[in-house]
Structure 1
């Protein structure tokens, strides 16, 4: 896809279809939702390519997870203590993050370096502005070029929704923030609805997914009954983890968003919070319950002092595939980025 530089950018409708494809994976009771857009640098591609890539990403990356973070970029952090997750550590950190406030600038920059199965680094640069614009590049040069041209990606309601949900949680209403985050990409699970309304919402989502697959020439998946009981609970928490991470990885340098993310992480049942160090800095490792990831493993390491993401290690359940992603986040000024001063 990096070679498709001259293909026109996809329009909003293509992004909507891609979002629906990812939602299809989210609606599978045993599916794990991973944010392929945050992992990969997607230059300008055609409409059909976006739809196909979204489906491929939902299927191939949809089962990823992780263990104690380590990777080719440096030594593995050594876990010195792990304990069942409780609200105190993450909520306490969230309060400190919010009190410290957001650093000067008008946008958040996150650089992620993914190490795939071949161990080779793949860098992606993302800027999320305070006005909700998003710019991407596969190098500082291409990112600066995109900002200078004003070549922002089409604004997506999903991005706006996850940011709003994080801010809601940060400012005290964690319960409402949690519901808003879980339903950021729709309410196919029927959260808060009557049984009849929930069944209707599920059927509508199934029909939308079927139509998407027909449009892109893929076999239409057989309809599935709406999950209930433990399956529904796990899927709800799967949505919460995935959507919250999306907010963090897009806008980590915004203190309010980051504080809300930490508070929402604290509501995930059976989360394990461990103490570790990475490159000499104190860190917390957040281990997601495998039950909500279809048996996969996912460990996110954040700075213990400011909550910024440092590293994520994911390992799929079957077949076993291992990925490591390192993160660097900072506040920037768009004018500086456009001038190549990053």
Structure 2
């Protein structure tokens, strides 16, 4: 590909990002360092300046995901085409293999369903959900689609809306704008900290109960455990959250059904119910919704019954 004359005097990596938008800038920089980019037949450094009208030859390469085994794990696929897969992840399924979870993950299942994902970093997984969070995830089937979808995440143009049940009765919706980083003492936890990365969470009330609130949450950023940390930060922790939930609080005089359901709810009551994005191939807006899982439906049913019993007493 020829370098435009107007690109004279600019860095190689900057021009590459414009000429090959289907690849991320960091990936292009890595290929330059590996000698997979040649300018007029010669290797250059990412920071080297161009004169314009040079000929650029790019040899893209992706290392296959050979470390992980494909496994025949059922997937609840809501949409798929040659560019992407949208699926509804159940609670309890780990997204990516790690220490202690080398098999039985979403990634292992994806490699079985679509073997070509072995040629895409992280098997095409664009964003993650915590193990015990259910809901919609998008997976890219090509490197170009992955680059485009990650760019949407970074530009905050991808819509991700959640349903959550929190402890405490909210008076109204709002926004939490508080940076999130590693906890100063417990490195496995996240926390609101002045030195953390920017994090913005919007929430609004769906339904109030005697001691709990059903809310919709929209993410503007995507930090680790963001909703769980932000809701705990404003003192409305998610029901069942084993890390940030604190001590179980039962409404005064609550029904035996509610008492049992709350004590038996051992995962954060959080579901990624709506996902919207721009299709990486056609550019058309697309949106999906996933119904609440049975355990959250049961939780809301019992909370509603408890509130009705209290009103009629």
**TM-score (norm. length: structure 2):** 0.23
Structure with higher RCO (Cα < 8 A, 6+ apart): 1
Higher strand share: 2
**TM-score (norm. length: structure 1):** 0.21
